[in-house]
Amino acid sequence: MKKVEIMLIGIIIALSATVIVQYTNDRTFGYASQAAEQGPQGQPGSPGPPGPAGGAEPTGQDSTLTNLFKNTQNSIVQITSKVSTADNSIIINGQPLSGQSTRLGSGFVYDKEGHIITNNHVVEGSTTVNVTFMDGNTYTAKVVGTDPDNDIAVIQIIDNFSDESLTPLILGNSSELQAGQQVVAIGNPFGLSNTMTTGIVSAVGRLLPNDNNAGYSMPDIIQVDAAINPGNSGGPLLDLEGQVVGMNTAIKTDTGDFSGIGFAIPSDTIKRIVPVLIKNGTYQHPYLGIAGRTMDPDIALANGLPRNFKGVVVEKVVKGGPADKAGMIAATLDDNNIPHGGDIITAIDGHQIKTIDDVIAYLDDSKAVGDKTTLTVSREGKSMDLTATLGVRPAQPPQ
Q: Which CATH class is domain 286-392?
A: mainly beta
Structure-model confidence comparison of residues 82 and 214, the more confident one: 82
- Whether residue 121 lies in the annotated active site: yes
Query: Which of 12, 4, 213 minimizes the C-alpha distance to 99?
Result: 12
- pLDDT above 70: percentage of residues in the chain: 78
Question: What beta strand segments (E) does 66-133 contain?
Answer: 76-92, 95-109, 115-118, 128-132
**Per-residue pLDDT tens digits for 372-397:** 999 999 999 899 999 999 999 988 76
Between vectors from CA 151 to CA 235 and to CA 257, what angle results, nearest 5°?
Answer: 55
| Strand, helix or coil for residue 276 | helix
Average of pLDDT values for 350-374? 95
Whether 357 contacts 211, CB under 8 Å: no
Whether 231 contacts 106, CB under 8 Å: yes
- Whether residue 193 lies in the annotated active site: no
**Per-residue pLDDT tens digits for 77-136:** 999 987 765 555 566 655 555 556 788 999 999 999 999 999 999 999 899 999 999 999
**Does position 17 have pLDDT exceeding 70, yes or no?**
no
Helix ranges (DSSP H) in the chain: 60-72, 120-123, 267-280, 297-302, 322-325, 356-366
Pick the catalytic residue: 75, 106, 121, 268? Answer: 121
Q: Please report the pLDDT score of residue 212 as a whole number.
A: 58
**Does position 61 have pLDDT exceeding 70, yes or no?**
no
Between vectors from CA 288 to CA 234 and to CA 204, what angle results, nearest 5°?
Answer: 40
**Does position 263 have pLDDT exceeding 70, yes or no?**
yes
Between vectors from CA 263 to CA 314 and to CA 239, what angle results, nearest 5°?
Answer: 125
| Phi, psi for 118 (deg, rounded to 5) | -155, -175
Average of pLDDT values for 357-372? 94
The letter for the amino acid at 77 is: V
Q: Please report the pLDDT score of residue 163 as a whole number.
A: 86
**Does position 314 have pLDDT exceeding 90, yes or no?**
yes
The letter for the amino acid at 242 is: G
**Does position 248 have pLDDT exceeding 70, yes or no?**
yes
**Per-residue pLDDT tens digits for 267-308:** 999 999 999 999 999 999 999 999 999 999 999 999 999 999
**Per-residue pLDDT tens digits for 330-352:** 999 999 999 999 999 999 999 99
Q: Please report the pLDDT score of residue 95 as a whole number.
A: 57
Provide the CATH number for the domain formed by 1-39+65-283 in this structure.
Answer: 2.40.10.120
Q: Please report the pLDDT score of residue 138 as a whole number.
A: 96
CA distance 15 to 235: 22
Q: How many angstroms separate the Cα of 191 from the Cα of each of 33, 44, 79, 93, 351?
A: 10, 11, 10, 36, 44
| Phi, psi for 134 (deg, rounded to 5) | -60, -30
CA distance 8 to 18: 7
Between vectors from CA 73 to CA 185 and to CA 234, what angle results, nearest 5°?
Answer: 45
Whether 130 contacts 79, CB under 8 Å: yes
Pick the catalytic residue: 147, 151, 220, 343? Answer: 151
The letter for the amino acid at 288 is: L
Whether 342 contacts 350, CB under 8 Å: no
CA distance 315 to 312: 9
- Distance in Å from the first CA to the final CA of the chain: 29
Q: Please report the pLDDT score of residue 216 as a whole number.
A: 82
Q: Please report the pLDDT score of residue 191 as a whole number.
A: 86
**Does position 9 have pLDDT exceeding 90, yes or no?**
no
Q: Per-domain residue ranges for the chain?
A: 1-39+65-283, 286-392
Average of pLDDT values for 205-218? 77
What average pLDDT is seen over the chain? 84
Between vectors from CA 294 to CA 290 and to CA 297, what angle results, nearest 5°?
Answer: 140
| Strand, helix or coil for residue 316 | strand
Pick the catalytic residue: 233, 343, 364, 378? Answer: 233
CA distance 319 to 181: 44
Whether 158 contacts 141, CB under 8 Å: yes
- Whether residue 285 lies in the annotated active site: no
